[in-house]
């Protein structure tokens, strides 16, 4: 596409949707994850099976719900269960992907959505807490983390570990009793797409968003990123992605 015809939220949704392949299960949270899952289901993953925290499994996201307990999370679903059943499904290794967000993230993909400040009580700022974030990050095979990219959010050490990433390096998840081979998979931020180095488990820059430089990503990260010799550039949203997103996924512009 030529001139920019999309906003930052639309770009984030499109890049997140592209990370989800067909024929997988994915834990979906409120907001952008719902739109990303719906867009993926409509664009390239018709057999995508979304799982919602309050028990909807396999819904058709023709009109995305506005919350994880809404009636649309059960629309044409294969089952209506409960929170215990779906989290047990993750415990048993049946959930491939999961979306989470948070206020802070560190080099190993640990996420904080509980408190800001040097002490737990009284905290400087109290945040919503885990919800299903700990379960998703601990138990699904691949976690996709959505974050606003700012130095105060990409920090050397999170103030509180709500959701474990690779904890403090190679082998730490396994030592903590978490499934071998599970962990953070991608970080989709407002500046870039990032993953984690296979050996060190530290965050690595994969691709910048259109118009964003590597230096801008570095300047807005509070720790040293792994920068490979070749850094890609994410494709902007296509006309078809934007049409589906605006006309079918979120026609009321509730999120976008």
> Which residue numbers are catalytic?
53
User: For residue 116, which phi and psi values (nearest 5 degrees)?
Assistant: -115, 130
Please check whether residue 133 is in contact with residue 163, taking contact to mean a CB–CB distance below 8 angstroms.
yes
Closest CA to 138 of 84, 178, 108: 178
């Amino acid at each position: 596409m030529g001139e920019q015809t999309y906003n930052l939220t639309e770009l984030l949704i499109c890049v997140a949707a592209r990370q989800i392949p067909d024929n997988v299960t994915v834990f979906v949270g409120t907001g952008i994850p719902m739109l990303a899952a719906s867009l993926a289901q409509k664009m390239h993953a018709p057999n995508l099976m979304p799982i919602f925290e309050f028990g909807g499994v396999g819904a058709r996201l023709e009109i995305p719900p506005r919350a994880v307990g809404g009636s649309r999370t059960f629309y044409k679903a294969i089952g209506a269960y409960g929170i215990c059943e779906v989290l047990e499904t993750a415990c048993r290794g049946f959930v491939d992907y999961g979306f989470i967000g948070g206020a802070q993230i560190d080099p190993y993909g640990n996420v904080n959505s509980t408190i800001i400040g040097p002490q737990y009580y009284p905290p400087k700022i109290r945040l919503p807490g885990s919800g299903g974030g700990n379960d998703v990050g601990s138990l699904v095979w691949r976690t996709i983390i959505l974050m606003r990219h700012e130095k105060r959010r990409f920090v050397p050490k999170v103030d509180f570990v709500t959701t474990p990433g690779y904890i403090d390096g190679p082998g730490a998840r396994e030592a903590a009793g978490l499934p071998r081979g599970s962990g953070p998979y991608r970080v989709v931020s407002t500046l870039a797409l990032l993953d984690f180095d296979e050996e060190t488990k530290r965050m690595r820059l994969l691709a910048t968003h259109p118009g964003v430089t590597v230096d801008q990503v570095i300047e807005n990260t509070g720790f040293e990123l792994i920068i490979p010799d070749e850094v890609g550039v994410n494709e902007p949203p296509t006309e078809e992605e934007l049409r589906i997103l605006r006309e079918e996924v979120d026609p009321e512009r509730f999120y976008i």
